[in-house]
Amino acid sequence: MNIHFPKLTKEQKVARAESLLGHFIGNGSIYLHKVIGYGSFGVVIHAYGPRNERTGRFKEYAVKCMCKLMSIKEHILAADEIRYHKEISGHPNILPYIEILQDDLWFYLVLEYCPGGDLFKEIVCKRTYYGDDALTKKVFVQILNAVEYCHSKSVYHRDLKPENCLVKDNGRTVLLMDFGLATNKKRCHEWGCGSRFYMAPEVYGVNREPYCAAAADVWALGVILVNLVTGRNPWHKAVEGDSVYDNFCRDPNALQNILPISPELNHLLRRIFVEPKLRPSIPEIRKDVLKIDRF
């Protein structure tokens, strides 16, 4: 007999996770404090660990709590997220994995706490990078480095966006996170996987053909670069029917007419926003980015 668990809404996930607040996990070493966010399959809770004897401060964690009352597919995806994050942890621009804990009802993915917030807020609310070409270059190269490292470990993120990058050092350091949609398959047929502003055309599955996961990540990196430089998205969806994207397909210089970008950046974006087999590699993108003085 198949057991079906209904899909929970964001509000239901938060309500269920809030029942954990005030409790200890990890043999009493970690105290679950407050909800600070949610991911693909769980809710993220700010937590306190043991006190540092030298500083007197309590260790802080971000704990992603994933309820075991999930479908088999969700269980597989949650297990993959834990495994992938553990495999690629250790890179300076990937949020550090600490450990995985569990009880009868929950998995607890314990990660380093990063109080600086996410890159989206840094771009949109604080406008940290607008007009600062040196800082934009520094941060984007960090993202390139993190994604390249993931690819070297056969981990393809598939949901690259500013919301999945945390910042510290006043926005000068970026940490890639949330591997809930990641895969180790080079070619995928899970169409519609990701966030619409950042999904490559082939990911929408109009032709129902498997797509290259690495090339899809490269497309998303191009959109993130536009975000950093302009604070805007190039289009709503990279599909036929989106007026801005349609205009770009007709005229590859169209973005330069509507966004405050330099000819050098426009040239790079024209190389990224093409069919998968023609997209540059991450080392090629890094090389071009480092040559650009003004975005």
42: Cα separation from own chain's centroid: 15
Catalytic pick among 159, 178, 246, 288:
159
219: Cα separation from own chain's centroid: 13
287 is in an annotated binding site: no
Length of the chain (residues):
295
Task: Please identify which residue in the block is written with the tokens 């210089």.
Answer: 253
Phi, psi at 66, each rounded to 5°: -120, 115
3 burial class (0-12, 13-18, 19+ CB within 10 angstroms)? exposed
Cite the DSSP H helix spans in 71-198: 72-88, 119-124, 133-152
For the chain, helix (H) and strand (E) counts, in that order, are: 9, 10
255 burial class (0-12, 13-18, 19+ CB within 10 angstroms)? buried
Q: Annotated catalytic, 159? A: yes
Q: DSSP E strands: which ranges in the chain?
A: 24-25, 30-38, 43-51, 58-67, 97-102, 106-112, 165-168, 173-176, 187-188, 211-212
Cβ neighbours around 243 below 10 Å, total: 9
Phi, psi at 163, each rounded to 5°: -65, -20
Tell me the three state secondary structure of residue 60.
strand
- State how far the Cα of 193 lies from the Cα of 81, in Å rounded to an integer: 15
Among 87, 22, 12, 21, smallest CA distance to 42 is for 12
Annotated binding site for ATP: 64
Catalytic residue numbers? 159
Annotated binding site: 64
